[in-house]
Amino acid sequence: MIHIAQFGAGRIGRIHAANLAAGDSARLRYVVDVDAAAATDLAKRYGATAVDAKTALADPKVGAVLIASSTDTHADYCIAAAKAGKAIFCEKPIDLSLKRVDACLKAVAAAKVPMFVGFNRRFDPSFASLKARIDAGEIGAVEQVVISSRDPGLPPLGYLKVSGGQFRDMTIHDFDMARWLLGEEPVEVMAMGSALVDPAVAKVGDTDSVMVLLRTKSGRLAHINNSRRASYGYDQRIEVHGAKGRMIAGNLTPTSVEKADATAVSADKPLYFFLERYAEAYRNELAAFVTALAKKKKMPVDANDGRRALALAEAALESCRRGRAVKVLG
């Protein structure tokens, strides 16, 4: 039984705590949050104890930490956990600064502790099947990847001000998926962004609609399109084109019922938001982390994956500002 200290009792923290409680290989021992009431409430719900960070990290029974707190705390908690000799599960991004991420990775490497980064979409059953079948050679060598990812609506402007921007906060998931599906590291990025959903987004220095092109050294290409507004629900689709054919992973809907009559053919809209769409992915990624710890295997998504996705986000930001393609550094 692996005892876990969780940092963060907000929306994502509640998801992870529930998934920990539902499993039988790990136990939520502590909850840490700056909001003491939220920490206490979540801890009581799942038989844990609300404590401060120092207490949680000092307990020798704690084998791992799960960091689901605000982004600006991720690197500090990762470094503290590494120094305490704890395995780490960290939500994306590790930090908004590559320099800070590098300091974090240095501490993790020095402590020789395993670190997992929460790119949950790799663990969605449809996307995981897509990847497995590509790797099995069903469509030959990958040539193009097309990723569509659109939210049903804007988050609060207050959140956008501290999120790090659309590329770091939203597109970073798609950068990770593109790397994963291309099977090669992108070396060049061309990105464009606009504020089409709400002019107020531009006033806080962000975008709500972006398109990105990625190219690998061998010439493989990926296209990512993001929007903060999709009136029909949470739009999550991937197409991979290869030398022998193509495969598509489409949206999930509440039911597969389709109606056809003299006026139209209609079906359910996609599931509304990421909490529903990726519920199984969240369960699967936590199970993968716990299994890797228990079997002392390499983490399926590690700290370097987190760094590389952020490097692509930084390159996209630079491209957007300069209006031209840029090389990916680091």
Residues 71-77 have a mean pLDDT of 96
Residues 37-51 have a mean pLDDT of 98
DSSP state of 243: T
pLDDT-derived band at 118 (thresholds 50, 70, 90) equals: very high
Residues 247-271 have a mean pLDDT of 97
Alpha carbon 82 to its chain centroid, in Å, reads: 21
Residues 288-292 have a mean pLDDT of 97
- pLDDT at residue 330 above 80? no
Specify the pLDDT at position 329.
Answer: 83
Kindly report each contact of residues 292-296 with a partner whose C-beta sits within 8 Å and lies 24 or more positions away, as own/partner.
292/114, 292/116, 293/2, 293/63, 293/64, 293/87, 293/114, 294/2, 294/25
Residues 7-27 have a mean pLDDT of 96
- pLDDT at residue 44 above 80? yes
DSSP state of 302: B
Distance CA(250)–CA(153), nearest Å, equals 20
Specify the pLDDT at position 199.
Answer: 95
